[in-house]
Every structure is written in C-alpha cells, then in structure tokens.
Amino acid sequence: MKLHVFDNPEILSENLAEWICSLVEKTLKQQQSFSLVLSGGSTPKILYEKLASEKYKGRIEWERVRIFWGDERVVPFTDNRNNARMAFDTLLNKVNVPASQVHIMRTDIEPNFSVAEYRKMLHAYFDSTHHSFDLVLLGMGDDGHTLSLFPGSPIIDDNYHWVNSVFNEQQEMYRITLMPALVNKAKKIVFMVDGEKKAQVLEKVLEGPHQPEKLPAQLIQPASGELHWFLDKAAAKSLQNTGK
C-alpha cells in the first residue's frame, strides 16, 4: 500500500489527475483499451473537472477508455444524487468516450435486473482475464463505507458475486455496488479521501484492527494489484505512519 498526502483537496486532485494521465498513457502503449471505474459522492468532483480541463483532457485518448461505476444510488439519472449523473456533468460530457464504452448501472429498471445486466457485461469483459479493471477509483464515507458497502450490511460477507444490490435503510434507497470479489482483482486501486471529518475513521481503517463488518473499506485488498491512498493533510492528520 502507498500513501500520497497533499496539502488540500485541490492539490490532491491535481496530483491524482497527473498520476492518472501518466498511467493511462503508459498502459495504452501496451494494450488496446483502458478500463476505468469511477467513484461517486462529492470527493471526486474536483478530480473529474480537472481531467476534463484543457490541461489534462488531451493527455488521455478517451476513445480508448472504457468507463464503469463502482456503485450507484438507485435514483433517476436526473437526480443530483445519481453517481453517473455527477460523472457526466463534471467529466463525461466533456470528453470523447464512445457511448458504447460507458457502462452505467441502470436505475430505470428494477435493481435486481440492473445487477443481472451489469454482472453479465462484466463477466463478458473479465471472465477470461487474470486481472479485472486497469484502475478503480474509490471513496470512503465518514462511517468507513466504500462502494455501497455500508457497516453491518447483509452483502458484506458475499465473496462470490461481482455486483449486488442492497436496500439502505437510513437513506431509504436501493444501491447497486461492485463487490470486493471483482474490485480486488483490479491492477490498481486508488482511494481518494479528504477532510478532517474522515480523519478518525481513516486511522481505524488503515491502522486499527481488521473489522471489515464495521469498516467495509478494509475489504479492499488487491490480490496482486497496487493499492494507493490519495489523502489531504486534514484526512491524514490522525495517522501514525504516513511514510514521512
């Protein structure tokens, strides 16, 4: 695992945008396409806007990128809480990824049908490969959740399926989520975490005992890929070991 700590979310996002561009450039010299999983929530918005900016968007051959989502809130695409909607507003409407390569988790059909569709599509891509995605971007909530894997969730113990849906009682909505069984096969996984509000839980996730039922972010342990945590100073402030 490698920690990258920056002064603030702006500098963090700038450095991560640079890191992603270099990775995509390098990878596309060796293979035809690049598979990128986007995270939702509010943290990645600055990153997506940077990737869509004049400075970065020309660095990536977006025609050769395949886009997936880590999780989705089952609300209409027009709803501001929809993770795909956020990614379109900040990034995808501004770059040239062919529509056939953008794989949203559908919220216009029943969650179990959407899950079945997403599983089928992912199995077609990755059944015959050792790794799954080239890069998975993840966030973490201040309760230690990642993807739509919340503390105490009934799907947390599922080590078999690649995608699940789950009803979130607190938010009174279904969620659709990739599962660790697939995410942990990725070549590279990057968590992006900022803000003092997440400092305590981050310390527990990274330096506390292994208790993934309470801290689902601990379920993310790549089998043979790389795990990176891009943090700002405020989020990293309770960590003992920042490698410095």
State the Cα angle at 147 between 142 and 151, rounded to 5°.
Answer: 55
Give every CB contact of residue 216 below 8 A, 6+ residues apart in sequence.
144, 145, 146, 147, 149, 150, 151, 153, 156
Residues that bind ligand LXAUTJHC (CB under 6 A): 39-43, 70-71, 73, 83, 138-139, 141, 148
At its nearest, how many Å lie between ligand LXAUTJHC and the CB of residue 243? 23
CB-wise, 65 or 166, nearer to ligand LXAUTJHC?
166
At its nearest, how many Å lie between ligand LXAUTJHC and the CB of residue 45? 9
At its nearest, how many Å lie between ligand LXAUTJHC and the CB of residue 91? 14
CB-wise, 70 or 225, nearer to ligand LXAUTJHC?
70
CB-wise, 23 or 136, nearer to ligand LXAUTJHC?
136
At its nearest, how many Å lie between ligand LXAUTJHC and the CB of residue 43? 3
Please give the Cα distance from 98 to 6 (Å, whole number).
Answer: 33
3-class DSSP state of 195: coil
CB-wise, 144 or 225, nearer to ligand LXAUTJHC?
144
| β-strands 34-38, 65-69 pairing | parallel
CB-wise, 15 or 168, nearer to ligand LXAUTJHC?
168
Record the tokens describing residue 40, joined without a space: 């939702």
Give every CB contact of residue 134 below 8 A, 6+ residues apart in sequence.
23, 27, 34, 35, 36, 186, 187, 188
At its nearest, how many Å lie between ligand LXAUTJHC and the CB of residue 148? 6
At its nearest, how many Å lie between ligand LXAUTJHC and the CB of residue 133? 15
Q: What residue is closest to ligand LXAUTJHC based on CB?
A: 41
H, E, C per residue of 62-121: HHHEEEEECEEECCCCCCCCCHHHHHHHHCHHHCCCCHHHECCCCCCCCHHHHHHHHHHH
CB-wise, 33 or 171, nearer to ligand LXAUTJHC?
171
